[in-house]
Amino acid sequence: MTGKSCARCGKQMVKIPKMVDAATLEKLEAGFKKLAASDSKSLLKKYLTQEVFDKLKTLKTPSFGSSLLDVIQSGLENHDSGVGIYAPDAEAYTTFADLFDPIIEDYHGGFKKTDKHPAKDWGDVDTFQNLDPAGEYIISTRVRCGRSMEGYPFNPCLTEAQYKEMEAKVSTTLSGLEGELKGAFYPLTGMTKEVQQKLIDDHFLFKEGDRFLQAANACRYWPSGRGIYHNDNKTFLVWCNEEDHLRLISMQMGGDLGQVYRRLVSAVNDIEKRVPFSHNDRLGFLTF
């Protein structure tokens, strides 16, 4: 991975991935041995060959120190996983590319390691209209996307202090939204039973992750640093640090896809001006 230029000689400096400790390596070796002997059908088992394992097992990402164990520990613990890997930080996609690239290609039925995600383009937002103006077929419409905040690792490597810092940033950012997006932020920590029941009734409240996410260390310090935002009309919702840093959701009753889509586009563009998102030129916006 390329870094900054040396101030003295002007040459480009290269970030060398850190090496894992003996305890991590021991866990990796034991987990890989069990996975190889299992009847798992996961993409992890399919593509984590001995050659790939030996190449990646000692590496750590340059900025946040994520290891191969952080990437694959959920799949090592849950042999019934369909995929079996998570990205602990943005750099994991490049440091452990020998594992991520073939899995991404297989999972998406294409997208080779030489392919490149197109630039962000929401298209003509007026193209979508009401798909069911008479209200005969569509009960409700929902469009969502996930985003990660630039400068932070993903769930497995976040400290409690980082969770709280991110929650504060998200709360401040969303509190600045105006017009149709104006609303309120509700931290999960210290939430009253009254507010909790209100969010449950609205089907807005999210719960702690399942065993796959827990094995990936995605639920640490729960519920610290987690929160929910919704606008006054209850047609725009943001989950903070549920599975991804941000889950942005636009929804409403009926089949007006155009209105739902335009609301989401407006919200994402507004929030991105205030909170930069993690992005990779080849893979696009990165998430956990």
The mean pLDDT of 266-281, rounded to a whole number, is 96
User: Is the pLDDT assigned to residue 261 strictly greater than 80?
Assistant: yes
CA 42/CA 26 separation, integer angstroms: 22
- In the annotated binding site, the residues are 140-144, 203, 247
Q: Which CATH superfamily is domain 140-285 in?
A: Glutamine synthetase/guanido kinase, catalytic domain (3.30.590.10)
3-class SS letters over the chain: CEEEECCCCCCEEECCCCECCHHHHHHHHHHHHHHHHCCCCCHHHHHCCHHHHHHHCCEECCCCCCEHHHHHHHHHHCCCCCCCCCCCCCCHHHHCHHHHHHHHHHHCCCCCCCCCCCCCCCCCCCCCCECCCCCCCCCEEEEEEEECECCCCCHHHCCHHHHHHHHHHHHHHHHCCCHHHCEEEEECCCCCHHHHHHHHHCCCCCCCCCHHHHHCCCCCCCCCCCEEEEECCCCEEEEECCCCCEEEEEEEECCEHHHHHHHHHHHHHHHHHHCCECEECCCEECCC
* Model pLDDT, residue 1: 45
In the prediction, which pLDDT does 134 show? 97
Mean pLDDT of the 263-270 span: 98
pLDDT at 14: 54
- 2-107 and 140-285: identical CATH topology: no
Phi first, then psi, for residue 172 (nearest 5°) are -65, -45
CA torsion sign, 58 to 210 to 100 to 227?
negative
Does residue 17 surpass a pLDDT of 80? no
Question: Fold for domain 2-107?
Answer: Transferase Creatine Kinase; Chain A, domain 1 (1.10.135)
Measured CA to CA, the distance from residue 67 to residue 59 in angstroms comes to 6
Residue ranges for the known binding site for ATP are 140-144, 203, 247
Cβ distance 275 to 166 under 8 Å? no
Q: How far apart are CA 256 and CA 140, in angstroms?
A: 9
Spatial separation of the C-alpha atoms in residues 266 and 256, rounded to whole Å: 16
**Token output for 201:** 């009734």
d(CA 186, CA 204): 11
Q: How far apart are CA 287 and CA 262, in angstroms?
A: 22
Distance CA 242, CA 226 (A): 7
Q: Which two tokens stand for residue 206?
A: 């999210």
In the prediction, which pLDDT does 19 show? 84
Query: Could you report the per-residue pLDDT of 159-213, keeping only the tens digit for each?
Result: 999 999 999 999 999 999 999 999 999 999 999 989 988 888 888 989 888 999 9
Give the phi and the psi of residue 143 in degrees, each rounded to 5. -130, 135
Pairing of strands 140-147, 183-187: unpaired
pLDDT tens-digit readout, 69-85 = 999 999 999 999 999 99
Whole-model pTM: value is: 0.88
Please state, rounded to an integer, the average pLDDT across all residues of the chain: 93
Q: How far apart are CA 112 and CA 104, in angstroms?
A: 8
Percent of the chain with pLDDT over 90: 88
- Amino acid letter, residue 141: T
Sequence ranges of the domains in the chain: 2-107, 140-285
